[in-house]
Amino acid sequence: MQETGIHIPNFCVAHRACEKCIQEPILTHCPHCSKIPGGREKIFRGPNTLTDFAQWVLDPIDETWSKEDIVRYGDCHRYATVMARNFSG
């Protein structure tokens, strides 16, 4: 908890899963999800964690994506579910 009394995240682990791999451990290879740039796990840390995570969820496309990737996977977070957990205490 920051001095203001507002919790500001400084570490976030995001897992991506499709209907084929949702029940599998995150380290299990998924033929579909592994094709999406960035794979199944993305880690955010530091003072920009919240901003970087929100940007990634709302617009996962970055400079590493090819034009084909954008067409094929550009809406990969359309049905995203986001959960939060504060691991203090």
pLDDT digits (tens, 9 = 90+) for 14-55: 888 888 888 988 888 888 888 888 888 889 999 999 999 998
Distance CA 46, CA 66 (A): 28
Confidence of residue 87 (pLDDT cuts 50, 70, 90): low
Domain ranges of the chain: 11-73
54 φ/ψ angles, rounded to the nearest 5 degrees: -60, -40
pLDDT at 52: 93
* pTM reported for the whole predicted model: 0.74
